[in-house]
Amino acid sequence: DNDTDNDDDVQEESNDKVFLPNHVMPFLPPHPQELLDAAAQPHHPRQTLSLAARARAKHAHRGSEQFFGVAKGTQERQNREAQEILRTMLRTAVWMNIHTFGGCQEEEPVLELRVSSGYGARWKFTKIKDDDDDGGADNSSTASKANQGTTTGTSKEYRMQFRGFLEPQMEDGHLKGWKH
């Protein structure tokens, strides 16, 4: 019965889900609103600029096709535009995986999605600590306090933390400053 060819790189199931080798189970993607809520958290405690708007500002100048548009205007406008980019990505994603990679703790995997042009977004499953007074994200720095997500539906033990936008994969991307 086990004579079928199994590709070690990809395991397909009959329900059209594809699991890659580093896929971390039993994590399942959270509801899209949880991902949007995590991205809407303030970049800094005393500002209204969201994590997604800040990430967009870092990426907007990199691509000649202006995938992220131009990041300008009030913080509220930038927040709205960043949320709309994420909504579009969530609706049109062609690839999504929950996995770990170098520098990523296995017990806190990331959810990554990509659209057909290669752009994407990443969130981290952050384990909630029982002894935290504020709900449990890792609070080792001011920046990490600002980066707390608000989700509860994924698991009572985890919250989502928006990590940023992703550029299309490219050869020597880091050396080229991801300008394409």
Residue 177 CA from chain centroid, whole number? 20
- What is the Cα–Cα distance from 121 to 133, expressed in whole angstroms? 29
Tokens of 121: 């977004």
Q: Is the pLDDT of residue 13 over 60?
A: no
Find the range with the poorest average confidence among 8-22, 110-124, 144-158: 8-22
**pTM attached to this predicted model:** 0.69
List % helix, strand, coil for the chain (3-state, nearest 5): 20, 20, 60
pLDDT (mean) for 148-162: 64
Q: What is the dihedral sign for C-alpha 47, 53, 58, 61?
A: negative
First to last CA, the chain: 48
Which tens digits make up the pLDDT trace of 113-153? 999 999 999 999 988 876 544 444 443 333 333 344 443 34
